[in-house]
Amino acid sequence: MKNKIVTLFGGSGQIGSNLIGSLIKKNYRVICVTRSAFRNTHLKTQATPGAIELLEWNTENLSEVENAIKNSDVVINLVGILYETRKQKFYKLHAKLPEAIAKICARSNVEKLIAVSAIGASKDSRSLYQRSKFQGEINILNNFKNSVIIRPSVVESHSSNFSNLFARLSFFPVIPIPNLRYKFQPILVTDVVKAIMKAIELKDNFGKIYEIGGPKIFTFKEMIESIMQAIGKKRLIIQMPMPIAKIQSAITDLLPFPPILTRDQCEILSEQDNIVSNNHLTLKDLDIEPADVEKAMVTWLVRFRDRGQFSLGKYNEKS
């Protein structure tokens, strides 16, 4: 039997770099579509030669990857951005690209398309990020019936944008946050990977949406407090008025890499919580018990502690 082939978009990101290993263990051959193959050659170290192929492309020309999709059994789209730049736009990457991928899948022999979206995706959101994610879901489901959508809450790992950002902000004695009561349900990247693998294996889940989150719901303030505890620091966490947060973010959005919350993220914080709604399928339907995010965070946030890994003994005693 020949190995099944997976074409993976966004394989160099937080989820993709963890997913490749699981796909290889299941004897899939992976075609990783990336905008810079040279920068991502390290991905090939996860398997024997030939098991992982890097295919370079650009968003203006999908013909480069059409043959790869046509010869694949499964296609996975993980492409996503947290903020816009001059070249990278939400609707282009979150809505138009998924539509193009779905259309290629529909005229090919692809068995299933898995697309990772986000909890909170909605056509009524004031956030361009959330509206574009929702439109991407619609474009996928309308163009390829053998599709599955996975919506995670905040995804955590050693390369997380969330926990690492606020650990770095511990440099300041006071951390101002808009909407301290906003709720998250953070989930480990390993559980997101498990969800994707289960979604591939399951039969009769075409057209389904899974909302997935971790075992515990945190308010924004509780999440920052948990990060501070993990790095052994005490900081004053205060409420920043949303109008001020939006003015500040409008200024920092002008930078190439916004150092803190963007204006669009402020809009998200003004809306519904980022938690599993129970309006769709969940991790229970995939028979997955999510791992403890707080406990896992210590393993990668240890570098922010005053004595690094040598301070973990004291931390474990307190916990």
Does some domain include residue 226? no
Q: What percent of the chain has pLDDT over 90?
A: 73
- What's the whole-model pTM score? 0.92
Structural domain includes residue 126: yes
DSSP state of 278: S
Is 318 part of a structural domain of the chain? no
Q: To 10 degrees, the CA torsion angle through 200, 202, 204, 206?
A: -30
pLDDT at 309 over 90: no
Kindly report, residue by residue over 114-123, the tens digit of the pLDDT. Answer: 999 999 999 9
- Both tokens of residue 113? 């398309």
Total domain count for the chain?
1
In a domain, 230, yes or no: no
Please state, rounded to an integer, the average pLDDT across all residues of the chain. Answer: 90
Q: Which tens digit of pLDDT belongs to each residue from 220-233?
A: 999 999 999 999 99
Q: What is the pLDDT of residue 295?
A: 94
229: in domain: no
Q: Is residue 31 part of a domain?
A: yes
Domain membership of residue 81 as a residue range: 5-155+187-213+279-284
80: CATH = 3.40.50.720
Q: Which amino acid is at 214?
A: G
Please give the pLDDT value at position 259: 79
Report pLDDT digits (tens) over 204-252: 999 999 999 999 999 999 999 999 999 999 999 999 999 999 999 988 8
Residue 175 lies in a domain: no
Domain presence at residue 166: no
The whole-number pLDDT of residue 262 equals 93
Count of CB atoms situated within 10 Å of the CB of 53: 15
Decide if pLDDT at 316 tops 60.
no
